Amino acid sequence: MATRPSHARTASTNLASGSGQRALEGRVAIVTGASRGIGVEVARTLASKGCNVVINYTSDSSTQTAEALASELEAEYGIKAISVQASMGSENGPKHLVEVAKNNFQHPKTSKFQLDIIVNNAGVAGNNLVENVDCEDFARQFNINVRGPLLLLQAAIPYLPNDRSGRIVNLSSVSSSLGYKGQSIYGGTKAALESMTRTWSRELAERCTVNAINPGPVATDMYWSNDEAFIAQNKPFIENTPLAAPRKGIDPEKIYEASQNAGGRPGYSEEVAGVVGMLCLPEAGWTTGSVICANGGMKFSY
């Protein structure tokens, strides 16, 4: 089982303890792309609130990690968690994910199945100037980031609640509105996802709330894989982000040092997951069709 950084353990403990209540007790959630990064922390946050979790992942190399996370969450929070391999970029992957969830969580006698929460977290990125964009990369990013959530929702609609208690949270990005050089495609996919968020909030108003969050840089594998040119481009944005100033002795030393040349620190996965968790609570039932700031103030909500 992988160890977690101290700041992650502290944040998770606070989320889990809260008022001592498990506000999502017995509910079922699907979290796509949940074998690493933000998805792991979203799954952990929901589980800490009593929610059963379907941990989705794509590649064979993530099988062991996803299975270990499911076992960890079951042991720590007393919920049921399963891991399901399915590609959100394929035509059949989203439907397969819902079918496996149903087979594992439907009532043994009545066969009733309700899917309470969907977190569309799986996504891919790519940086390319407009003259170098090709159709293959366009299709790859749009299939995973846009078509995947659409097909997953289509498969899930028969099983959503009918009392507005359902929750859908889509992971967008500040890239949808900041106009980063090289992100014609990635930014476009996230803008499309935000547009679908607003449409779904109206179409599904009697079933669930539908919101998006827009993280900025987050300390995930995707963030650390960016080249120096992108880090330099991003520096002015981070320098003007209210919460991005690195904190000596609070932030891990690796991140503190790396932040000196980057203009500030990235967010942590558990900080983003905490916003997702809030949107999934019953108390968030009056919030829908919104893009919520989850980026330290880099790009404010609207």
pLDDT mean over 33-46: 97
pLDDT tens for 112-166 read: 999 999 999 999 999 899 999 999 999 999 999 999 999 999 999 999 999 999 9
Domain 28-216+269-294: which CATH number of 3.40.50.1000, 3.40.50.1100, 3.40.50.720, 3.40.50.300: 3.40.50.720
Q: Residue 86 is encoded by which pair of tokens?
A: 């399915």
Quick: pLDDT tens for 281-296.
Answer: 999 999 999 999 999 9
pTM summary value:
0.91
Residues carrying an active site annotation: 172-173, 186, 190
pLDDT at 224 over 80: no
- Detail the DSSP E strand segments found in the chain: 28-31, 52-57, 81-85, 117-120, 166-171, 208-214, 291-293
What are the boundaries of each domain within the chain?
A: 28-216+269-294, 221-266
Dist CA 24 CA 28 (whole Å): 9
pLDDT for 15 beyond 90:
no
Q: Using pLDDT thresholds of 50, 70 and 90, give the confidence band for residue 21.
A: confident
| Beta bridge pairs of residue 183 | 128
DSSP summary character for residue 146: I
